[in-house]
A and B are shown apart, each in its own frame.
Chain A
Amino acid sequence: EAQVTQNPRYLITVTGKKLTVTCSQNMNHEYMSWYRQDPGLGLRQIYYSMNVEVTDKGDVPEGYKVSRKEKRNFPLILESPSPNQTSLYFCASSPGAGREGYEQYFGPGTRLTVT
């Protein structure tokens, strides 16, 4: 089944404790992206990756890092989480080329709480 998977789905952590949220897709997509979604603010892009060689900041990159060492995986790293990073996080992927290149397919989400 074609899908985007994220782990963990739920995470409660404390301020300053480094964490990684994994994202994997099995559709051979070039483009991958991370979003956060907060009530009243909608979806905001954190980072995106055009392919394994190109990664760039989205609208809200502060406090986050990403890594794209292979096409299928795009982990999101919070080096020193803070309470304002409490949010619902989504990973998405798309083919990245062709007419349907930017139709993004989303993972199930990771609900992060930082205390």
Chain B
Amino acid sequence: EDQVTQSPEALRLQEGESSSLNCSYTVSGLRGLFWYRQDPGKGPEFLFTLYSAGEEKEKERLKATLTKKESFLHITAPKPEDSATYLCAVQGNSNYQLIWGAGTKLIIKP
């Protein structure tokens, strides 16, 4: 069964304190792994797609990496405005639906 697990559920950091969020997945043939950012009460905002193990993508203070079993979202020197829930989703080769993780709520304290 296709599955996505995100950890931790919540993460509190001080401004400038770098850390990583984890997305572990089980899927029959990975078509793509997606990272989104969601602010409270708003729609998820697309960040990255990763397609194959070893791939990395960066955007400002965020860097996403992918292995055959998991993806990490590294946050370098975060700022309070990086506070949000970060969602991970995967798409397998067997269907078009995305399988979503429950998200990691990130709080950056000034």
Contact = CB atoms under 8 A, between A and B. Distances in A.
B34 A103 contact: yes
Interface stretch (B13-21, B54-62, B90-98): B90-98
B95 to A, nearest CB: 9
A25 to B, nearest CB: 12
B32 to A, nearest CB: 6
B78 interface: no
B43 A108 contact: yes
Interface residues of A, number: 25
Contacts, number: 51
Interface residues of B, number: 20
B86 interface: no
Interface of B: 31-32, 34, 41-46, 49, 51, 87, 91, 96-98, 100-103
Given A50-B96, A102-B91, 11 more contacts: A42-B103, A43-B87, A43-B100, A45-B98, A59-B97, A90-B43, A92-B43, A102-B98, A104-B46, A106-B43, A109-B43
